[in-house]
Amino acid sequence: MGDEGYLTTAEVAQRLGVKAETVYAYASRGVLTSVKRPGRRGSLFAAEEVDRLAGRGREPGVVEGIRTRLTRFADDELFFRDRRAVDLVGQSSLESVAHFLWTGELAGRPAFPASPELTGLVRSATGALQATARLTDHLRVAVAVLGAADPLRFDLAPDAVRPAAERLIGVLADALPGGTASGTLGERLWPKLTSRRPDPEILDAALVLLADHGLAVSTVAARVAASARANVYAVVSAGLGALDGQYHGGASTLAYRFLAEAREDPVNALSERLRTAGGIPGFGHRIYRRRDPRADALLALLPDNPVVDLVLDQLSGRADLFPNIDLALAAMMHSFEMRPDAGEAVFAVARTAGWTAHALEEYGEPGLRFRVLGSTGGTAT
């Protein structure tokens, strides 16, 4: 071993019993953290982290071995293909970033198409929902309705999937309850989330930053559906199902509630969360080690928030408790008096672009490749 406490890629592959390509996949997904050393070619990996992975007592699974060209992580940076995600903020719309993920070409794109007919169809269905229904409840119903209304949904060719996804995302934004607007997706979503004076550039930035994040649990669910050759609507439904949990899409709502408590007494709110929950909503991350670049980018665009500043000051001595994108979404929601579930809706609409990209990628792989062996006590079909 060239550096004390670190392993080369070849040494990691040997210790884990996998190919070097799999080690690279682990690094791109954040399963392992790669580091560079001056004067050394190639990546190095902390032996302790490799040993923890090896000590799980099982071979890495199919999901852990997925390689995707869409997103990668390196040195606490998020890349969409070959571009830093934060560099796309303010330069590219979600429409452009979606097509970049779908095709590899980054260029200006028109707004996702509006369809008054399909929007009306979705609203007639979601009108039966209770007033207490969350925005993500509306989105799930909308996706099901739009899928049933598309007789050509089973055409999985990229030239058919991409326009279907464009139409889907546009209608999802327009059909949510609330006011109406035209323009970018951020402009169309804004009146659904708040009655405050529009500042859609911030919402557009959040949408771009959330468009994809590698093999998150909802994306894995979407890819599993795509491996069975489910159509794009069913793929998005699978992603929405996995998103609907406190550890994933609901995390911004928990952070929103925490900030609401912190407005009254920041120190007591922190203390109570540490005592009863063991963690602070909106802080730390499984992949990033020192900072979440998405949070940094979004927080920099928001108005000053004394509550956020006080909380950050109290946690300044904890390198592992840095603000993540859920905290940034929660801060945005408070700054503009958005609905308490606004963050989940923004997350879901943005990530629909990423789920579509992963579906397109998965359609090019062997079907049903996620079938794993297990003890069922019988025959499974």
pLDDT tens track for 350-367: 999 999 999 999 999 888
pLDDT digits (tens, 9 = 90+) for 109-118: 999 999 999 9
pLDDT of amino acid 377 = 47
pLDDT of amino acid 56 = 56
pLDDT digits (tens, 9 = 90+) for 175-187: 999 999 999 999 9
Give the mean pLDDT of 56-61: 49
pLDDT of amino acid 100 = 98
pTM of the predicted protein model: 0.83
- Mean pLDDT taken over the chain: 90
pLDDT digits (tens, 9 = 90+) for 94-152: 999 999 999 999 999 999 999 999 999 999 999 999 999 999 999 999 999 999 999 99
Give yes or no for residue 9 having a pLDDT over 60.
Answer: yes
Residue 336's closest CA among 152, 201, 143, 234?
201
Residue 146's closest CA among 124, 171, 163, 128?
171
Give the mean pLDDT of 370-376: 58
Q: What band does 58 get if pLDDT is binned at 50, 70 and 90? A: very low
Q: What band does 22 get if pLDDT is binned at 50, 70 and 90? A: confident
162 or 370, greater pLDDT = 162
pLDDT of amino acid 41 = 73
Sketch out the chain's domains with CATH numbers.
6-67 (1.10.1660), 87-381 (1.10.580.10)
pLDDT of amino acid 378 = 44
Give the mean pLDDT of 277-295: 91
pLDDT digits (tens, 9 = 90+) for 248-278: 888 999 999 999 999 989 889 999 988 887 7
Give yes or no for residue 82 having a pLDDT over 80.
Answer: yes
pLDDT of amino acid 45 = 86
